[in-house]
Amino acid sequence: MSTVSSSSPLHWPRTLFARLALILVVGLALAQTFSFFLTMRERDESMTNMMVGYVEREVASSVALLDHLPPEERAQWLPRLARRSYEFILGPGDQTGAKPDAELSERFANSIGAGIANRYPMTVNAVPGPRERFQVHLKLSDGSPLTIDMRPVAGMPMSGWLPLVLTLQLIVLGACCWLAVRLATGPLKRLAKAADTLGPDLKAERLPESGPEEVARAAKAFNAMQDRVSMYMAQRMQILAAITHDLQTPITRMRLRVDVMDDESTGAKLQQDLKEMESLVKEGVTYARTLHGTNEAPRRIDADALIETMVDDYLDAGQSVRLSGNIGGALMAPPQALKRVIGNLVDNAIKYAGEAEIEVSTRDDGRAVISVLDRGPGIPEESLDAVFEPFVRLEDSRNRQTGGTGLGLAIARQLTLAMDASLTLHHREGGGLEARLALKKTA
Ligand SMILES: Nc1ncnc2c1ncn2[C@@H]1O[C@H](COP(=O)(O)OP(=O)(O)OP(=O)(O)O)[C@@H](O)[C@H]1O
Ligand SMILES: [Mg+2]
């Protein structure tokens, strides 16, 4: 599932890396923010409780002090008795407002009441305005009015560095998530890469069987699977090789018997059939071998000389093969395998078109290209891929004249894969087929 739902505008990221990172980062950031606000709330709550208790004692002693002072000295004490959230006013204050109904004001008013109300009867009223504010009115023992003007504040303002710390925490959290997700998805990437490189020669890189337990177990299972596949392939090849080997003797015996047959026309037909059986058996074993890759090690070769020799051999055999262009440098390739691939392509051109043309060049990306061209019937677009499959032969080539087993291109494709080269078939302008082989050149 790549999206949450097809109609939803929210897209679930496609990679496992992004999904895990998203879940972890969002989850942890939410949890972190939630706990930050809970801590702040708890801190404000205990600060307010502390301040309420403090106001109760402070106000009680300040009122007692003012009461004991001679009236003319009281005014000069007022600034010293004022605090961040309240001050004293000598006078009746503003008594127009209603009883305070805000929770904080009520708590402070109650606490002031608890400190002084048993000695000084008091009234409390809110003062309307932009900030929460209320006044407590009372009379000192000489009858003079005193007002406590209070602007209650909850908790303590946040320090300037706190948001910075929170941001830093979120950054550390993000980095940890990134690391953890990378650690979790890295082995998957390596596994996919190893499975991708498992080519026809079944010689993929072995995964290191180390690291966390789950990863090591997966790597072990992958390596074991790779070994099993190799073993099955080897067995298949051995069976094919054994059958071929054992078939050769009865075929040879049959040929000898056919040679001494009286009926010449039947004998010729049987000889033809036996020849086809022999070539089928030979090609079969070659295909089985190439399935296992080529055992031949790549060597630095002069491809121009190799192709020229091949062309000379064809000309000597009376075939029409032309060569143009050159590579002009060395190639790293297994020579026998390369010869076999080019040979199979040239054989096809000769078989289906009567003649072949080899064009050699170097592409802009530095790859050497060997094209085998002909002006024969070509291959229909829809069969260009299918003819690479083993034993696939097109209708018009299924006649006795052309012969063949349908393994030539399958073998060529297997060998090119093992050589890390590419082999493709293309239509030619004006009819015919181009088989294009592209190989890496050496530096
Ligand atoms: N140059 C070509 N022109 C036309 N058709 C071709 C050409 N090359 C290949 N084909 C078609 O592709 C089919 C498969 O080719 P492939 O070389 O694999 O087998 P084959 O030539 O039939 O037998 P062999 O195993 O002897 O090579 C052929 O049977 C033929 O129909
Ligand atoms: Mg062929």
Measured at the CA of 274, the angle between CA 272 and CA 275, to 5 degrees, comes to 65
> Which ligand has the nearest atom to the CA of 388?
1
Is 100 in contact with 124 (CB distance < 8 Å)?
yes
Per-residue pLDDT tens for 286-308? 777 776 666 788 889 999 999 99
379 in contact with ligand 1, CB cutoff 6 A: yes
Domain 198-293 top-level CATH class? mainly alpha
Q: Domain boundaries in the chain? A: 1-196, 198-293, 297-439
Residues 6+ apart with CB under 8 A from 46: none
Is 303 in contact with 212 (CB distance < 8 Å)?
no
Question: How far is the centre of ligand 2, averaged over its atoms, from the C-alpha of 173 (Å)?
Answer: 63
User: Residue 199's pLDDT is what?
Assistant: 64
Fold of 297-439: Heat Shock Protein 90 (3.30.565)
Q: Is the pTM of this model over 0.85?
A: no
User: Residue 201's pLDDT is what?
Assistant: 60
Ligand 1 closest atom vs CA 349? 1
SS (H, E, C) 167-207: HHHHHHHHHHHHHHHHHHHHHHHHHHHHHHCCCCCCCCCCC
Alpha helices (runs of H) in 69-160, residue ranges in sequence order: 71-81, 103-116
| CA distance linking residue 373 with residue 43, whole number of Å | 85
Per-residue pLDDT tens for 179-192? 999 988 888 888 88
Q: Which residues of 284-300 are buried (b: 16+ CB within 10 A; e: fewer)?
A: bbbbbbbbbbbebebee
376 in contact with ligand 1, CB cutoff 6 A: yes
User: Residue 202's pLDDT is what?
Assistant: 62
| CA distance linking residue 331 with residue 419, whole number of Å | 11
> Which parts of the chain register pLDDT below 70?
1-10, 199-204, 291-294, 396-403, 443
| CA distance linking residue 119 with residue 391, whole number of Å | 114
Ligand 1 closest atom vs CA 392? 14
